[in-house]
Amino acid sequence: MSPEFIIYAWTFGTLAVFALLALWNEHRRRTFEPARQPDTIFRCEKCAAVYTDDPAVERSRCPQCGQTNHPVEF
């Protein structure tokens, strides 16, 4: 084996590993992102503060003033 071959093999091997890691990362991101529900947006009726909370909750308490609010309908 010539030293050049070892250098080329090492370089391409490293690049291949990085490419695989990037692909795997991208795949993992695409697999998990749609499953995750985005937070529900709430807008306080009392102080107009906009905040987010768990999408499972029907009503959320305003972190600013404590007013209970319904989610914002688009």
Rounded to a whole number of angstroms, the minimum distance from the CB of residue 57 to Zn ion is 16
Query: Using CA atoms, how far apart are residues 51 and 48, in angstroms rounded to an integer?
Result: 10
22 binds Zn ion (CB under 5 A): no
Triad 54, 60, 64: Cα angle to 5°: 110
Residue 65 is a binding residue for Zn ion (CB under 5 A): yes
Pick one of 9, 16, 47, 57: the residue that binds Zn ion (CB under 5 A).
47
Give the separation between CA 74 and CA 67, rounded to whole angstroms. 21
Residues that bind Zn ion in the complex, under the rule CB under 5 A: 44, 46-47, 49, 62, 64-65, 67
